[in-house]
Amino acid sequence: MQESRTAEMLRVSRTPVREALRQLEREGLLVAQGSERVVANPTKEEFVDLYTCRAALERLVAERSALLADSSDVEFMAGAIEEARAAIPGGDHAVVLSANTRFHDRMVESARMKPLRQLMDTIRGPILVARRRLLTNAEVEAAICDEHEEILDAIRRKDVRAAQELMERHMKNDIERGVANFDG
């Protein structure tokens, strides 16, 4: 993606395009290659590092969500899981990704801790890029939905320990699924 071509295509000056591209770079969505920018494509090591950081944060998210989520949070997360499941048979990976993202985002919101949400926001972009390594087929997507349901059930029961343990297992599984796609 070149700044000048993008500005010309959008019929705007280069300044706002330059700032937007820099922001996408800061968020880890684009990387500079010479005079162009391309969509980030993390290495296996970068993927593992990112998901290891994410796992630590998500454990706290699950804990706080189990303590603080209300019925509207639980209903919203359940609806996101249902939407993801409904999209799997048609192979609509984009809908599955979007629904899974909404599930995790609502869990973060239900944790009701602004600094935690801000930390999660800093890794959100790279996570979305990395998820391409995870949502690869119906079997994997169904397994992820199963894991989400187990986590949500623990949240619904206000079982903090179970929510933490299930989230840890979910993140461990995501790391293994992602690494397998690098190796496969």
Calculate ∠ Cα 15-18-20, nearest 5°: 110
Could you give the CA distance from residue 62 to residue 58 in angstroms, rounded to a whole number? 6
pLDDT of residue 130: 85
Q: Which domains does the chain have, with CATH numbers?
A: 3-39 (no CATH), 44-183 (1.20.120.530)
**E strand map for 76-184:** none
**E strand map for the chain:** 30-33, 36-39
pLDDT tens digits, 79-117? 999 999 999 999 999 999 999 999 999 999 999 999 999
Lowest mean pLDDT among 54-68, 111-125, 133-147: 133-147
Residue 1 has pLDDT above 70, yes or no: no
Q: How far is CA 49 from the centre of its chain?
A: 14
Nearest of 142, 151, 152 to residue 171 by alpha carbon: 151
The separation between the first and the last C-alpha atoms of the chain, rounded to the nearest angstrom, is: 29
pTM of the model: 0.83
Residue 17 tokens, joined = 């395009």
pLDDT tens digits, 116-137? 999 999 998 888 888 877 777 8
